[in-house]
Amino acid sequence: MESDALFLSRLQFAFTVSFHIVLPSFTIGLASYLAVLEGLWLWRRDEVYLRLFKYWLKIFALSFGMGVVSGIVLSYQFGTNWGPFSDMVGPVLGPLMGYEVLSAFFLEAGFLGVMLFGLNRVGKRLHFSATLMVAVGTLFSAFWILSANSWMHTPAGYGFENDQFVPKDWWSIIFNPSFPYRLVHMVLAAYLTTAFVVGGVGAYHLLKDRGNAAAQVMFSMAMWMAALVAPLQILAGDLHGLNTLEHQPAKVAAMEGHWQTRRGAPLVLFAIPDMQAEENHLELAIPKLGSMILTHAWDGEVQGLKAWPPDERPNATLIFWTFRVMVAIGVLMVLVGLASLWLRFRRALYERPWFLRAVLLFSPAGFVAVLAGWITTEVGRQPWLVYGLLRISNGVSPVDTPVVAVSLLGFVVVYCLVFGAGIYYLLKLMQRLPAVVEEGLASGEITRAAGITPLASLTPDSGGKSR
């Protein structure tokens, strides 16, 4: 039985990291999208790209700010709540996070100011370089943090001396077995998440005005992403799953709802896995398909959760379902992409209200899929902090229960208030039509103001007009 303080610390970490992760998922994709938009503007000299750039830039600024402040919390929470863990893994994971700060965070933050407010001060080319730097920074950041995270799943290249994990081979540590798969899967997820937000916003405006040029461009770009990247993501997810099967078979058993180890395992479509009774309730399954998917052979052997002692099993009740939510959204994204190809072929991409409504409805789907996927992989790692080597219960700080309870309450209240307001402002920004936005900025009329009243000058209704 775990102590209350441990449970609360886990809850606090889950809460703060879940709030945080949706923001970088969005800004990684958005930073790349902004770089593409600005590049297209410089290349084709079509003002519509600049207008779209400005439009999404405001949304980026807001999301990025929230991502930064929620990220700082995480960089300190390892020490405050997971002290013994930090002490033990610091020599291995610390430098990876150090590299993240040095190569990514500074790059993003350093060029963000120029990207947001500097277009008229530094000129187009330098400004484009700044945008590229920010985009590259977000990808570097994903690289290092996912490397560190992956190491906790598939530790490699380490030794154990004086109560600490110590580095033996940095190459093996950084490129640990699950890292390449996780990186590709996550970056594609970030791109898809952003694509569906962009597509949803485009759809929203097209529903009001079919002929809106800017809305058409963003919708079309987003649908290309859906059509091309969503199938790739299914492939990447499958490979990632096979990698997990190799290194963390207990996680896969929980995801699949398998209790018995057997050949020709079924694919469980619906079930309520019961951790106490060690069985599934209300199971609906397709015979043999599970083995086919996991081992690519009809009678391949698949391990069940009973192959592990009860205190080494991840919670199947939870991740059986989070996994299915993620996969279902992924498959629906592929269908949206295919439908878009068909409509595009029929030259009716912007014309079908049912399709526009479907895409609008789907705009937050990426976030749900990202959260579901992360819950699957992280809960699937339990009860280990470092898989197979360090248990959660041995990594928690000796903090008293009331102290963690108060801090958790503080995080819940502050995050709900602050990020609730943030989401509201983001929606307000997205609600605005891109066509009427900032014609002034393109002509350079607000040159000085860009540095003076940064966010105000980026706000279209800033000229004294009230909303």
Q: Within positions 74 to 103, which residues make up the interface with other proteins, using CB under 8 A?
A: 75-76, 78-81, 83-84, 86-95, 97-103
Is 155 a binding residue for other proteins by CB under 8 A? The answer is: no
CA dist 64 to 26, 155, 241, 430, Å?
Answer: 9, 31, 30, 16
Is 141 a binding residue for other proteins by CB under 8 A? The answer is: no
End-to-end CA, the chain = 55
Closest to other proteins by CB, 132 vs 223, is 132
Contact residue for other proteins among 415, 438, 441, 460 (CB under 8 A): 415
CB of 288: closest distance to other proteins in angstroms? 47
Sign of the C-alpha dihedral computed for residues 268, 269, 271 and 275 taken in this order: positive
Closest to other proteins by CB, 184 vs 408, is 408
- Binding residues among 283-322 for other proteins as defined by CB under 8 A: none
**Calpha distance 191→103 (Å, rounded):** 21
Is 355 a binding residue for other proteins by CB under 8 A? The answer is: no
Closest to other proteins by CB, 68 vs 239, is 68
CA dist 80 to 93, 166, 294, 314, Å?
Answer: 16, 22, 40, 25
Closest to other proteins by CB, 57 vs 184, is 57
**Calpha distance 112→131 (Å, rounded):** 8
CA dist 449 to 112, 119, 140, 200, 442, Å?
Answer: 17, 11, 32, 31, 13
The closest alpha carbon to 189, from 429, 320, 21, belongs to: 21
Is 72 a binding residue for other proteins by CB under 8 A? The answer is: yes
**Which among 257-265, 304-312, 329-337, 398-406 is the span making contact with other proteins, rule CB under 8 A?**
398-406
**Which among 230-238, 323-331, 342-350, 441-449 is the span making contact with other proteins, rule CB under 8 A?**
441-449
**Calpha distance 341→336 (Å, rounded):** 9
**Which among 71-79, 194-202, 295-303, 350-358 is the span making contact with other proteins, rule CB under 8 A?**
71-79
Is 416 a binding residue for other proteins by CB under 8 A? The answer is: no
Count the site residues for other proteins by CB under 8 A.
88
Is 228 a binding residue for other proteins by CB under 8 A? The answer is: no
* Token couple for 102: 């040095």
